[in-house]
Structure 1
Amino acid sequence: MRANRCPQPAPRWPTLRTLQTRMLQLRTLQRASVLLLITALAVACNTTEVPVYTTQFPAFGTAVDLSIVGIQRERAEAAATDVEHDLLFFDRALYRDSSGRMLRMNERLASGEPFAAPPSLLPLLTHSQALFQLSEGLFNPALGRFTRLWGLDHARPQSNPPPSQAAIDALLAVQPRMDDLYLDGIQLQSDNPAVQLDFDPVATAYAMDAAIDALRAQAVRSALINIGGDVRAIGSRSGRAWRLPVPRASGTGVIGIVDVSGDISLFTASTKHRNFVYQGKVYHSVIDPRTGRPADDVASVTVLYEGDALTAAAAANALMIAGAEDWPRIAGRMGIRYALLIDNLGRLQMTPAMAQLIELLDTKAEQIIRVPEEDEPITTP
C-alpha cells in the first residue's frame, strides 16, 4: 500500500526587488573584498624593509662607515662614491700628516701678507672664529705651534720628554688666537706670526658636514657617516632611531647607547686621541690655550648636538679644556644640551638631557647631573 505523499508547493520565483537586493549585496561584498585586498597590499608594502646601502673605505687614518637609506642601490652607490671623494679631498686638505695645503697656508700667515684662502676652507675659517668666541677662546685652532712644540703634530707621536716651561711661556707670551685672523672676502692674513692653524680636532667633522650637504643635494634624506666612532647622521634607519655607542674614557668599549634620529652629530674628545706616554704620564693633543699644556682633569667628553658636526667637535674639545668644574658654563654658552664628561675620578658628569637620553651600560659609576650655566651639581646614587 502506497503512502500518501504530501502535495509539494509550487516553486516561487524571486521578485524583481529581491534580485536587486541580492545584486546590491553582491556588489557590496565585492567592494569590501577589493578594499581588504588593497589594505593587505598596503600593509605588506609598509612592512617591507626600506633599502639600506652600507659601505666602508679608508680616510683620515681610519675606516669610514657609511649608510645610505631609502634610495635604489645604483643611486646609493653613486652617492657613496661622491662622499668618498669628498672625504678624501678634505683628508688631503686638512689632515695634519699629509696636508701640503695647510703647510703653505701657515707659511703665508706667518709672513703677515694677505693671500687668497682656499675657497673650500672659507666656511671652516669663519665658523671656527665664531666657535672660538662662543667658547671664550677654549676652542682655538690657531694653536698649531703648541701641538708642534709638544711633538703632537703627527698621527703617531714619539715618546719624547715634554717641552720646557720656558718654551711654553714664550708661546703663551704671544698668544696665538683665532681673532688674529682677518678675512676679507677670500683674502686672509694675520698680524700675529705665532698663528699656525691646526684643524685636526675638527677636520673629520667639517668633512662630514660637507658630505651630508652633498647627500642632501642628491635627495638623500637618511644617512649616517661614522669616522672612528664620531658620527654625523640625518633622518633614521628605516623609520627606526640610529643606535649610537658612547665610548668609555679608555677608548675601548662602550659606556652607553643613545637612540637618536633627525639632524644630529655625536663627537668625543679624549686623552686617547693622538697622544704619547713619557715616564708613565699621558700627553695628548687637546691643548689648553691658557696653560699651553694638555688639559689634565678630564678623561673624555662626548657631545651630542642637534646640528652640524663642526659645532659638536669644537664643543667636545672646549668642554674638555674647561674642565670638571667649569664645563657646564661653556656648554651653556655654546648651546649644548647633551653632554657627558668622564672626569679623572671616573665620575659621569652629564647634562639633564643627556642623563635622560643615554642608556648606560655601566650603572655602578657615580653620576652627577650638571645643568648648563648653573654651578650646583646634583649627585645621584
Structure 2
Amino acid sequence: MTARFFVKALFAVLIAGGIAACDERRDDARYTLYVFGTLVEIAVPAAEKTRADAVMPEITARFSKMHRDWHAWRPGETTRLDKAIAEGRSMTVSPLLKDALLRGRELEEKSGGLFNPAIGGLIGLWGFHQDDRPVGPPPDDAAIAALVSRHPSMSDLVIHGNEVSSTNPAVELDFGGFAKGLALDWAAEKLKDRGIPDAVLNAGGDVNVIGHHGKRRWHVAIRDPNGWGVLGAVKLEPDEVLYTSGNYYRYREHDGVRYSHIIDPRTGRPVDHIVSASVIADNGALADAAATALSIAGPGGWQETASRMGLTLVLLVDANGTILTTPEMKERVELEEEDVTVVVRSVTDANSGMSD
C-alpha cells in the first residue's frame, strides 16, 4: 500500500468513526476490504451479522472483479477495450462492463459533458494513471491541446448487445469518477435483498446508508478540504448517499503549484476554483459523477449543473474557503466553524442568492 493510499484509508476509518460518533453508540458488525484505491467499510447492526456474513463473500468477490476489470491502467477488461478502440476494432465485453459504459454515457449526458469517463488519455497525460503521486512539471501544452481537440466522449461508443466499438479512437476509459458509486449502490441493494434493514457503506468517506442508525438518522461527516478536520456533518434520510470530490487526495505539485486530478474535459487542465464538492442524492453513481461535474462547473456554473442533474442538496468549497450551497443543503448541514463565509443560492435561479 502506498503512502498516499494509506493516508486515504486512514481518513476513511476516521470518517467512519465520525459517523457513529454523531449518534448513539451501538454494537455493529463491521467488514472491511481495500478496493478502488481506498478502504471500504460496511457496518450492520450486530443482530444482522448472520445475514451479512452470508452475503459478504458475494460482495467481496464482486468488488474485487470491478476493481480488476475496471482498472484504468493495470491490465484488465477496460484496458483491453481501450486497446481495441485505439486500433479501430470492436470487442465483446462482459455484462458488468457494458452496464458501466451505459451508465457512464447517461451521466456524461446528464452533466452536460462535464463528467466524462472517456478522457482517460488526459488523466493519464497528467500522471494520474499510476499508484504513486506524479512528480515533475505538468505536461506540454501542445500535448494537452492535441488530446482536447479530439473530443473523446462516451457518446462515441457504439454498443450493440455486448459488442462495443467507437467512432473516435481517442476514447480511453477511466471510471474513477463513479466506480465507487456503482459498487456501493450494488452492495446496498444486495444487503436490502437479504433483509438487512439498516447499514452504512463507506468508501473513503463516500457513504451509502440503509435505514437508520439506531432510532435516529445517520449523521455523516464531510471532511474539511483544507486540513484533517471535519467541515461539518449532515443528516441522511434512509437510502440516501453522500459523496465528496476534492483535490486533497490526488494531485501533483510543481514549483509550489498544486494540480488537481479533476480534469476539465473542455480545457484538458485541472480545476483550481473548487477544492471540494459534496452531493446528497438517492444513488451513489449519480452523486459520485455529480461531485466531479460540480467541481468542474465551478463558482459560476454549479447551479446550472446541479439543476441539470436533478440535484438540490449540494455543497462546494471554493479556492478562497467560501462555502457555496443551496437552501436545502443548508438545512441539513451542521458546520463545525461559525466564522466561515457561506453563500446560499437556489439551483432554480442562478442569479439569486444571499450570504450568511
TM-score computed with the length of structure 2 as normaliser: 0.89
Which whole-Å CA distance do the structure 2 matches of 1:251 and 1:93 have between them?
Answer: 34
Unaligned runs of 5+ in 1: 1-48
Counterparts of 1:296-311 in structure 2, within 5 Å, are 296-305=272-281, 307-311=282-286
Equivalent position of 2:172 in the other structure: 196
Counterparts of 1:48-127 in structure 2, within 5 Å, are 52-69=28-45, 71-96=47-72, 98-127=74-103
Is residue 2:335 matched to residue 1:356? no
Is residue 2:349 matched to residue 1:374? yes
The CA deviation at 1:251 is 5.5
Residues 12-48 of structure 1 show CA distances to partners (whole Å, capped at 9, x for unaligned) of xxxxxxxxxxxxxxxxxxxxxxxxxxxxxxxxxxxxx
The CA deviation at 1:344 is 0.7
Residues 58-83 of structure 1 show CA distances to partners (whole Å, capped at 9, x for unaligned) of 22232221112375432222223332
Name which structure has the greater RCO, CA cutoff 8 Å, separation 6+.
Answer: 2
The CA deviation at 1:266 is 0.9
RMSD, aligned α-carbons: 1.8
Query: Does the 8 Å contact 1:319/1:331 carry over to 2?
Result: yes
Query: Does the 8 Å contact 1:51/1:72 carry over to 2?
Result: no
Query: Does the 8 Å contact 2:107/2:289 carry over to 1?
Result: yes
Which whole-Å CA distance do the structure 1 matches of 2:131 and 2:63 have between them?
Answer: 18
Change (3 A) 1:50 1:347: closer
Tell me the number of residue pairs that the alignment of Structure 1 and Structure 2 aligns. 332
Is residue 2:273 matched to residue 1:277? no
Counterparts of 1:110-149 in structure 2, within 5 Å, are 110-149=86-125
Residues 315-334 of structure 1 show CA distances to partners (whole Å, capped at 9, x for unaligned) of 00000000111100000000
Equivalent position of 2:163 in the other structure: 187
Residues 327-356 of structure 1 show CA distances to partners (whole Å, capped at 9, x for unaligned) of 000000001111001001110000111001
- Matched residue of 2:298: which SS? helix
Residues 183-234 of structure 1 show CA distances to partners (whole Å, capped at 9, x for unaligned) of 1121111010100000112121111112112222222232211111111112
- Matched residue of 1:84: which SS? helix
What is the letter of the counterpart of residue 230 of structure 2?
V
Which whole-Å CA distance do the structure 2 matches of 1:245 and 1:185 have between them?
Answer: 42
- Matched residue of 1:63: which SS? strand
Query: Does the 8 Å contact 1:112/1:189 carry over to 2?
Result: yes
Counterparts of 1:298-337 in structure 2, within 5 Å, are 298-305=274-281, 307-337=282-312
The CA deviation at 1:56 is 2.3
- Matched residue of 1:57: which SS? strand
Between the aligned residues of both structures, percent identity stands at: 33
Query: Does the 8 Å contact 1:97/1:155 carry over to 2?
Result: no
Structure index of larger Rg = 1
Equivalent position of 1:208 in the other structure: 184
The CA deviation at 1:52 is 3.3
Query: Does the 8 Å contact 1:156/1:274 carry over to 2?
Result: no
Which whole-Å CA distance do the structure 2 matches of 1:372 and 1:279 have between them?
Answer: 37
Equivalent position of 2:207 in the other structure: 231
What is the letter of the counterpart of residue 340 of structure 1?
L
Query: Does the 8 Å contact 2:184/2:201 carry over to 1?
Result: yes
The CA deviation at 1:99 is 4.8
Change (3 A) 1:82 1:100: same
| Segment drifting more, 200-209 vs 131-140 | 200-209
Query: Does the 8 Å contact 2:152/2:171 carry over to 1?
Result: yes
Is residue 2:309 matched to residue 1:347? no
Residues 221-267 of structure 1 show CA distances to partners (whole Å, capped at 9, x for unaligned) of 32211111111112112232111001112252211101113111111
Which whole-Å CA distance do the structure 2 matches of 1:247 and 1:95 have between them?
Answer: 26
What is the letter of the counterpart of residue 107 of structure 2?
L
Which whole-Å CA distance do the structure 1 matches of 2:96 and 2:224 have between them?
Answer: 34
Which whole-Å CA distance do the structure 1 matches of 2:33 and 2:147 have between them?
Answer: 39
Which whole-Å CA distance do the structure 1 matches of 2:246 and 2:26 have between them?
Answer: 36
Unaligned runs of 5+ in 2: 1-24
Which whole-Å CA distance do the structure 1 matches of 2:328 and 2:65 have between them?
Answer: 36
Which whole-Å CA distance do the structure 2 matches of 1:53 and 1:140 have between them?
Answer: 37
Residues 275-325 of structure 1 show CA distances to partners (whole Å, capped at 9, x for unaligned) of 1111111112111011000112111101111x2100000000000000111
Equivalent position of 2:313 in the other structure: 338
Which whole-Å CA distance do the structure 1 matches of 2:97 and 2:80 have between them?
Answer: 14
Is residue 2:137 matched to residue 1:161? yes
After the TM superposition, which segments of 4 or more aligned residues of structure 1 sit over 3 Å from their partners?
Answer: 49-52, 69-72, 95-99
Which whole-Å CA distance do the structure 2 matches of 1:252 and 1:281 have between them?
Answer: 20
| Segment drifting more, 292-301 vs 108-117 | 108-117
TM-score computed with the length of structure 1 as normaliser: 0.83
Is residue 2:234 matched to residue 1:258? yes
